[in-house]
Structure formats: structure tokens, C-alpha cells
Amino acid sequence: MKINTGLPAEDLNAVGPAAKAIEAQGFSGVSTQENRQDAFLPLAVAATSTNSLELRTSIAIAFARSPMVAANMSWDIQRASKGRFTLGIGSQVKGHNVRRFSVPWSAPAPRMREYVQALRAIWGCWANGTPLDYQGEHYQFSLMTPNFTPEPCEQGVPKVQIAAVGPAMMKVAAEECDGVMLHVFCTGKYLEEVIMPRLDKGLENSGRTRADFEISGGGFIATGADDEAVHRMFEWVRKRVGFYGSTPSYWPVFEQHGWEDLGHKLNDMSKKGQWDDMTQAVSDDVIHEFCVTGRHDQIKEQIQQRFGGVVDVVSLPSDTPSDLLQELQAS
């Protein structure tokens, strides 16, 4: 099992030392989110500051960028890191695409399929000299001259993974991508009964096996050095479950447990701005379905029980002890 952690991205001047420290601590890799900061720039710094850390955007928002732009940035980081970069992309929701990034919205899964196919067509052109000719409904690429072709990448093209929640996006991940990044809004029951059968079917359709595919995430982990730290993390998870659970696109997870009424209740409260009340509406029993919980000296067995044999990569806080990282990586 690989153990990743988030890369602090607030100050690019501090990214290099932070990445070196994370590598020295024994983490398998680092990831960046596209929230307040760009997801690619910190990884470019980390690529030149580290030797073994795997680097991944988790996630970069796909539709806000042309596949050509994402392909170019990914290629450069892949070259700089000598083959350690994975492009992790997600669709985001309609509101962010239309109102935050001012890009048109359409059914996300078919568009994401084209996005990944276009990336591979562009990278194939650069890697093999294949004429660029991708013609889809959403993306069309047919121009690439030597002046715009980047230098060769000896380590091969980047891997690409997508974030997926629903069945359509899960199908795209299994049929087109090198892996899937599962949302933290996921229970063990939903993972085993819904997600894995869909992924297995998609891999079968693409002529691949589970060994060809990496699964990341799929739930929260609340851990810390002492009970107080664990409790703080547990309450933070409660807020996140309340937040995500208010959005209808995440309700299939609730439905798997018969919690449809909770989703509607949270949605109504969100429309009224009752954010604190939303948090209190989520019971401890619900949180335990989404989250494994325990101190550093307790959490190993729980992580193995929940994720072992199913998930390949989980994320832990940067203060996780090195000996725990080594034990989990060996499992």
C-alpha cells in the first residue's frame, strides 16, 4: 500500500523544503488540490527538489483547461521528475465550471472520456511522431508542428487518473485511465458493493486486469498522536460529510445505506444557510461508516481492514510517524 500526503502549496518558496522533508519522512508521494492555489506549479517545484516522491494533482480541474494545456504542463513535470508524475483530473460540478471558470457545461462523463483520449493522442504525437488527429464532439486537435513539440520524455508519457463518484465516470476511469481517485465521501459498503463491481466490469471491457489499474482514496482517516487530535479530526470529518451529503450528486452513497432522508434534510438546511446545524445532523454512527478512526498506535489494523486488498493508495497527515508509514507500506 502506498501512503501519500498533501503538499503545502500556499508559498512556492516553501514547497521545495517541505517536499524534501516529506520524502525524508518516508511517504510514497504527495498530491496537490486546486483550491486556492494552482495544482501544477507546486509539483513542478517538488519535481526538482526530490528524488523518489511520486507526484500527483488530486485534483486539477479538467474542463477549465484545454487538454493541450494540461498535456503540456504534465509532460514538463514528467520530464523534470524523471517519470514520477501522475495527472489526476476531475470534472468539478456545473456551478464551478459555469460561474467560477466561465466554461460551458455538458454531460461530464462523455466529455471526460474525450478529454483523456485527447491527452493520449497529444502525448502519442509527441512521443511517437504520430500525426495529431483527434476528432471528438467536444475536442478536436489536428495541428502540431516541430516548433510546438516538446523535447522527448525518456520515462514515457504521464499516467492519467480521474476522480469518480457516479457509475458513468467510474466506467470512464476503468476503460480509459491508469487509475481512479475515489472521493472521500465513500463508505466500505459502497466501495465493495457498488464501486468495485463497476470498476471490474470496466476493466474487463478494456481488456485489462486489476493489476493494470491503481485505486486511491475511498474514505476518511481520522488519526493523530493522541485522543484529542483524533477527536478534532473526527469532528472535521463530520463537517465534511454534512457538506458533501447536502449535494444530490453524492446521495447514491447515502442510498446504499437507506439514508435518503438524511440527504434531503442536509440539502434543505444548506439552502437555509444552517451550516452548523448540518454538522450536528450527522450522527456518530454515520461518521464511522465513512471514516476509520484511531490514534497512531491504533490505526494500522483499521486501515488494513478497511482498505487492504482493495485500495492501493491512501492519504495520511504529514505528521504520521515514519514507523507507521513503513508498516503500512509493507502491508
Segment-wise mean pLDDT, segments of 10 residues, the chain, 331 residues: 95 97 96 95 98 96 97 98 97 91 95 98 96 97 96 96 91 96 93 93 93 94 93 94 91 94 95 91 96 93 91 92 91 77
What was the pLDDT predicted at 16? 97
pLDDT of residue 167: 87
On the question of a cis peptide bond just before residue 61, with omega within 30 degrees of 0, the verdict is: no
pLDDT in the model for residue 287: 96
SS3 state at 250? helix
Instruction: Give SS3 for 7.
Output: coil
Count of beta carbons in the 10 Å neighbourhood of residue 325: 17
Instruction: Report the distance separating Cα 53 and Cα 85, nearest Å.
Output: 9
> Judging by DSSP bridges, how do beta strands 140-141 and 134-135 pair with one another?
antiparallel
Cβ atoms of 244 and 185 closer than 8 Å: yes
CA distance 95 to 112: 17
Report pLDDT for 261: 95
Question: How distant, in Å, are the alpha carbons of 28, 32, 42, 45, 86 from that of 12?
Answer: 21, 12, 6, 7, 20
Nine-digit cell at 203? 476493466
- What are the cell numbers at 300? 494500522
Cβ neighbours of 34 (radius 10 Å)? 18
DSSP 75-127: HHHHHHTTS-EEEEEE---HHIIIIIS------HHHHHHHHHHHHHHHHHHHH
What is the distance between the alpha carbons of residues 181 and 6, in angstroms, rounded to a whole number? Answer: 14
What is the structure's pLDDT at 308?
A: 87
Q: Delineate the domains of the chain, giving CATH numbers in brackets.
A: 2-221+311-320 (3.20.20.30), 226-295 (no CATH)
Listing DSSP states for 135-173 in one string gives E-SS-EE----GGGPPPP-TT-SPEEEEEE-SHHHHHHH
- pLDDT of the residue at 93: 85
C-alpha span between 116 and 121 (Å, rounded): 9
Rounded to a whole number of angstroms, the CA Rg of the chain reads 20
Distances (CA, A) of 199 to 122, 182, 185: 26, 11, 17
